[in-house]
Structure 1
Amino acid sequence: MDEVLAYLKANPTYFLATVDAEGNPQVRPFGTATLFEGKIYFQTGKVKAVSRELMAHPRCAICDMGKDGSWLRIDADAVEDDRNEARQAVLDDNPGLKKMYAADDGNTQVFYFANAHATISSFTAETKTFEF
């Protein structure tokens, strides 16, 4: 998991795929990846469609592209952590979000990846596989 987190930190814009209420795929850019209590967390706002989508269908996927031409793929369950401590940890690790969010604002929502399968691949190296 450390290598996956390091990859996300080095390549901070990744794309999160969810399923909407009609069963259609939705993909959008994200930029949060925080290690908290041994899990990788990301953040969104409860008012956003992605929040509703993850709550209804928690299985999601991400794809990130490295500056070296490699790519990271993760498929996982997004598990909401509704504790103030978790929200604050993500905000502290991503201080730019504090202009729009606060841990106790009723909107900030954090999820962690569970039952995750991750691969880091490239055309020039062996694929690395991770489970967490």
Structure 2
Amino acid sequence: MERVCKFLKDAKTYYLATVDGDKPKVRPFGTAHIFEGKLYIQTGKKKAVSEQIKKNPNVEICAMNGEDWLRVSGELIEDDRREARVSMLEAYPELKALYNPDDGNTQVFYFKNAKAVFSSFTKPEETVEF
């Protein structure tokens, strides 16, 4: 899982895919953080992506860094504890201009039953599950 988080951080931007009704929705994200042994991402409850995850928590993210890319699929579970929100915002202090742990909007999710596939045009695929 640490390797997955490092790849996402090094890539800086990854793309999160959700489902809105029967249509796919993809948007850029940038948060990846390990807290209490789980891989977390962050968004705002006021965003459409929050409602999409609530209705269908099965998501996939994809990131590319150089000639290598990573896909992570799994179920996102909301962690509504203040400690989890604080940990994310401490890891990404630039977000504090937009979010705070007590604003009623900051939302963090961790991956459950995740499968990460590292791919490249020049190396064999590697799969990690967590």
Deviation at 1:27, TM superposition (A): 0.1
Aligned residue identity for 2:50: S
Aligned residue identity for 1:29: P
SS of match in other structure, 2:7: helix
Deviation at 1:46, TM superposition (A): 0.3
Q: How does 1:1-132 map to 2 (within 5 A)?
A: 1-20=1-20, 22-67=21-66, 69-132=67-130
Superposed CA offset, 1:39-64 (max 9, x none): 11010000000000001100000000
More strand by share: 2
Point out 4+ residue stretches in structure 1 off by more than 2 angstroms.
Answer: none
- Unpaired stretches in structure 2, ≥5 consecutive residues: none
Deviation at 1:5, TM superposition (A): 1.1
- Root-mean-square deviation (CA, aligned residues, Å) is 0.6
Q: Equivalents in 1 of 2:86, 2:12: separation in Å?
A: 19
SS of match in other structure, 1:121: strand
SS of match in other structure, 2:53: helix
Aligned residue identity for 2:43: T
SS of match in other structure, 2:103: coil
SS of match in other structure, 1:15: strand
The TM-score normalised by the length of structure 2 is 0.98
Q: Quick one: percent identity of the two aligned structures?
A: 55
Aligned residue identity for 1:71: W
- Unpaired stretches in structure 1, ≥5 consecutive residues: none
Q: Equivalents in 2 of 1:100, 1:2: separation in Å?
A: 27
SS of match in other structure, 1:106: coil
Aligned length, in residue pairs = 130
Q: Equivalents in 1 of 2:3, 2:102: separation in Å?
A: 31
Q: Equivalents in 2 of 1:2, 1:44: separation in Å?
A: 21
Q: Equivalents in 2 of 1:98, 1:60: separation in Å?
A: 26
